[in-house]
Structure 1
């Protein structure tokens, strides 16, 4: 017995070491969580500013919990909560002026409900059907169908049960409606454990105060499935996962790997999570240590095996809700019980057969350091951490730029009229989060506000220039608030405004400062616009070696990220002539073929920071009659276009280079630039107009 215990302890320590190496450790878990919560806050602030808080976004699942690896390739689960509705559990929670929906529990399975429509002016039930999204039940009550939220799906999403997925990215979107109150069915959980037992009193208080959601899916065995909604306790579940230690997290990750490898995902990760939460609750916290990892995995497998055998996996908060009800037939259950039994009997030696993240090969290499089954290269722990960090940061910084542009687009609204007072109000709304929000909300406001301040400053400066005035002090104040938005874009917009106003010397000084700050070894071009000109992949981001140790996203932005420079048409007088063309890049026939939800930026001028830096320097040196400086930066512009692998708007950079070549009277080189630009992007590209103009110049010359 002692020998077996020693073997399990040794195996546990080796497995823990391997899981640490592949990124299941405190540092990487916290990195995933902080990034997921920050991205969630960006989504929420964007919609709060643009739509007056109509929707709140929540990121749930493995990515935000930190319970995934590179090999697991987990989805990003986003719940889109429509705040216009008030889901109530009793009449005392009714609110005037809101769309109140009463949760009905009769004739539904535990964990599900139906929603009865109530009037918004007085607390009585609605009697007439208000539309096709509602239906009478057998008692004549007006109930909302769970297909109601289909119309709210984002463009390009495909509906799967309660969720919709984006085929282009690894993401699931679940629409939901909020209830401020904890489900009555889950109230026994509050007193189920003692104060010193996991999850603890504070966690329970947070869970109860967070309320719940209802999501549009009915019980699979119900005859009235279309009228049923599932009660979701996702916020409380995320809170509990945040309160698990690293051994519990590792146990969950291994369970998911086992299910995917040996059971083809028949048992879901949510069912594994539920089993784990039950097990953590009923076991001593001292058990969950690194040296007991294999024993913890075996206990989890035994409990999961029992659940499958009796065909009952009780929901953690609502035990009457059987997560296996109607999901598995007898033969499938027998096969699962048999497979899990084999894994348990082998004392989890089957883990050696897991190929995800090279778990099996890494374990074999640790157990037999002088014998290798193959010559597979294992990514070092440092490289794994950097790879995870790169992916997280890429998604985060792109989301920052996306949220910024979506807020500006909400102001522009395709009329190209941006009210400065409205924009000031929206900036103030963002700053409210910085003053009063949670840690992640403050961080999101901290990175969004400078980008918005710069846009407002440039808009005001454009109005000044259009009236023949100097740039006002107010404009410069707003522009100064945005110069630290990232490495370059805020300063470049300030320099561009100064250049267009005739302050060439000041513009040149700012551009020289940007050139000093922009280190191509560690600075990454970033833009929401996914261009075909981008080469490589996100795992090759050029980040400074120790940046993944820093959780200060604002600091990292000022070292590692250069956002694309964005000018709306309201900022047109702060844009050099060569870049103004980008705002009018196609005829109306082609414009009608765009996806207005995604391609609105094509009515703006958007250019990568580094080529725009060199173009602006070229123009300022020309105005300063510095021929040597002109040629130096022209060479750098050419080199950047030809060698920088991650330009998002290479076609725009080529168009700017073509304009420089026309100034140099190198017309054939200009023609080559425009042709290369068109080859990269054949539609919505102003290079066509440049070619027409160039051909006219050729004709005039002859």
Structure 2
């Protein structure tokens, strides 16, 4: 797995480089901070391996729990009160106080519920954000998916953009922080609490009022938790995701990688950390498969941050799928170590000759490092929306980038592989 790009060195490199990217971009964005989220923020996917998840946080808007004193909040901030009587982990937002300056997006998404309350509609909010004009002519927009506004540039660079509002919910975080646990450490628990929460525009699927509901999430805190998993725990998480994608292959996100993340979080919290050593990998993979099978059988898996929320609720899982997946997972558990041979990526790495595999692994790592450095250098060379391509460092990174691709091209040709072009090689290496 290390040679395939899931080792600690490249994982830590990715995390730091995406943090640098966020910092650089936010120094140029005045009113909508950008946060890299999901697998990219966790350092667990190659450059083109999955979509890039971005959280765009609307400034000067705050959602608060009942009992929060509004006088402690600046007058320049629009405040919504969270009505958490909706399905667990969700809320409705009641306008408590307008700011002196109004956001057009927020204003157009406000609704009167006929009882004297003004609510912020998640559905109207998404309509407003979808209609927001883009300044990037190369950006292609795709059909909305939950709270996400998917976009793409070119063939491979896909992004999921989620607009969020900051959320102050100390009682929820206090309940999470006060649990008895083996992991995370008290210091990490306090850091996660300090990172706070967000609400995103998506209601519970089966709710009659889903168009008015918002989901409470802890994106930055959860990224911090993943980044503090041990190498063994992180690799179990990656392999569980591979199993869902390549073996179970859900058609409509009946099971997602987010379910796998929560399974690994519960594993880490409930067990001493010295039990997660390299040789225990297959034990914990088997344990994760067992937890997944239980979740499918019972249609129940508690959300790690808010256990009252069931991640399997309204999953859309049919009886036929349920029966089939239970059978498949049971078979995988009986296979023992051979279960990893079900995964094409792992299988090809095992049967490959050691020397070429190591060479390609080193070139893939260098290629990705160059790609991330190039991405970040471009943001620092951005002047009035235009990249200064004459920058010497940018040109040197580009030169070495092409050089590495040509080395790979030459070796592939010598080994009798069909080579299309350098762009094709890059995409195949970094997926």
TM-score normalised by structure 1 residue count: 0.51
Instruction: Quote the residue 2:172 is aligned against.
Output: 185
Structure 2 gaps, min length 5: 101-105, 135-139, 409-421, 424-431
Task: Within 5 Å, give how 1:245-264 maps onto structure 2.
Answer: 245-264=230-249
Aligned residues of 1:29 and 1:67 also touching (Cα < 8 A):
yes
Instruction: State the secondary structure of the residue aligned to 2:207.
Output: coil
Offset, 1:285: 1.2
Give the Cα–Cα distance (whole angstroms) in 2 for the partners of residues 119 and 396 of structure 1. 44
Q: 2:160 aligns with which of 153, 156, 172?
A: 172
Q: 1:540 aligns with which of 395, 405, 409?
A: 405
Aligned residues of 2:262 and 2:304 also touching (Cα < 8 A):
yes
Q: Which has the larger radius of gyration?
A: 1
Q: 2:270 aligns with which of 273, 282, 286?
A: 282
Instruction: Quote the residue 2:90 is aligned against.
Output: 112
Distance 1:339 1:488, change over 3 A: closer
> Is 1:229 aligned to 2:103, yes or no?
no
Give the Cα–Cα distance (whole angstroms) in 1 for the partners of residues 303 and 83 of structure 2. 19
Instruction: Quote the residue 2:418 is aligned against.
Output: none
Instruction: State the secondary structure of the residue aligned to 1:280.
Output: helix
Task: Within 5 Å, give how 1:19-418 maps onto structure 2.
Answer: 19-47=1-29, 51=30, 54-69=31-46, 73-90=49-66, 91-93=68-70, 94-106=73-85, 108-120=86-98, 132-137=108-113, 139-146=115-122, 147-153=124-130, 155=134, 156-158=140-142, 159-168=144-153, 169-179=157-167, 181-182=168-169, 184-194=171-181, 197-265=182-250, 266-327=254-315, 328-356=317-345, 359-364=346-351, 380-402=357-379, 404-405=381-382, 407-409=383-385
Aligned residues of 2:198 and 2:217 also touching (Cα < 8 A):
yes
Offset, 1:270: 0.6
Per-residue CA deviations over 1:205-240 (Å, capped at 9, x if unaligned) read: 011111101111111101111111111111111111
Per-residue CA deviations over 1:300-320 (Å, capped at 9, x if unaligned) read: 111111111110111001011
Give the Cα–Cα distance (whole angstroms) in 2 for the partners of residues 296 and 140 of structure 1. 53
Offset, 1:409: 4.3
* Bigger RCO (CA 8 Å, 6+ sep): 2
Per-residue CA deviations over 1:601-627 (Å, capped at 9, x if unaligned) read: xxxxxxxxxxxxxxxxxxxxxxxxxxx
Aligned residues of 2:56 and 2:161 also touching (Cα < 8 A):
yes
Give the Cα–Cα distance (whole angstroms) in 2 for the partners of residues 63 and 121 of structure 1. 34
Give the Cα–Cα distance (whole angstroms) in 2 for the partners of residues 211 and 142 of structure 1. 25
Distance 1:223 1:541, change over 3 A: farther
Distance 1:224 1:349, change over 3 A: same
For these two proteins, the number of residue pairs brought into alignment is: 387
Instruction: State the secondary structure of the residue aligned to 1:274.
Output: helix
Aligned residues of 2:349 and 2:357 also touching (Cα < 8 A):
no
Offset, 1:121: 6.3
Aligned residues of 1:113 and 1:230 also touching (Cα < 8 A):
yes
Give the 4+ runs in structure 1 shifted more than 6 A. Answer: 536-539
Aligned residues of 1:143 and 1:227 also touching (Cα < 8 A):
yes
Give the Cα–Cα distance (whole angstroms) in 2 for the partners of residues 165 and 200 of structure 1. 36
Instruction: State the secondary structure of the residue aligned to 1:299.
Output: helix
Task: Within 5 Å, give how 1:474-485 maps onto structure 2.
Answer: none
Per-residue CA deviations over 1:413-435 (Å, capped at 9, x if unaligned) read: xxxxxxxxxxxxxxxxxxxxxxx
**Larger CA deviation: 378-387 vs 19-28:** 378-387
Per-residue CA deviations over 1:299-353 (Å, capped at 9, x if unaligned) read: 0111111111110111001011111101123332222222111110111423212
Give the Cα–Cα distance (whole angstroms) in 2 for the partners of residues 28 and 81 of structure 1. 28
Aligned residues of 1:353 and 1:360 also touching (Cα < 8 A):
yes
The root-mean-square deviation of aligned C-alpha atoms, in Å, is 3.1
Offset, 1:389: 3.9
Instruction: State the secondary structure of the residue aligned to 1:21.
Output: helix
Distance 1:100 1:340, change over 3 A: same
Task: Within 5 Å, give how 1:520-599 maps onto structure 2.
Answer: 523-524=397-398, 540=405
Per-residue CA deviations over 1:173-226 (Å, capped at 9, x if unaligned) read: 1111112x34533432211125xx210101110111111011111111011111
Aligned residues of 2:25 and 2:379 also touching (Cα < 8 A):
no
Distance 1:120 1:136, change over 3 A: closer
Instruction: State the secondary structure of the residue aligned to 1:170.
Output: strand
Distance 1:132 1:352, change over 3 A: same
Instruction: Quote the residue 1:557 is aligned against.
Output: none
**Larger CA deviation: 168-177 vs 210-219:** 168-177
Distance 1:137 1:100, change over 3 A: same
Offset, 1:248: 0.7
Aligned residues of 1:524 and 1:542 also touching (Cα < 8 A):
no
Aligned residues of 1:86 and 1:95 also touching (Cα < 8 A):
no
Distance 1:250 1:21, change over 3 A: same
Distance 1:143 1:255, change over 3 A: same
Structure 1 gaps, min length 5: 1-18, 123-129, 366-375, 411-447, 456-484, 490-517, 527-535, 544-644, 647-702
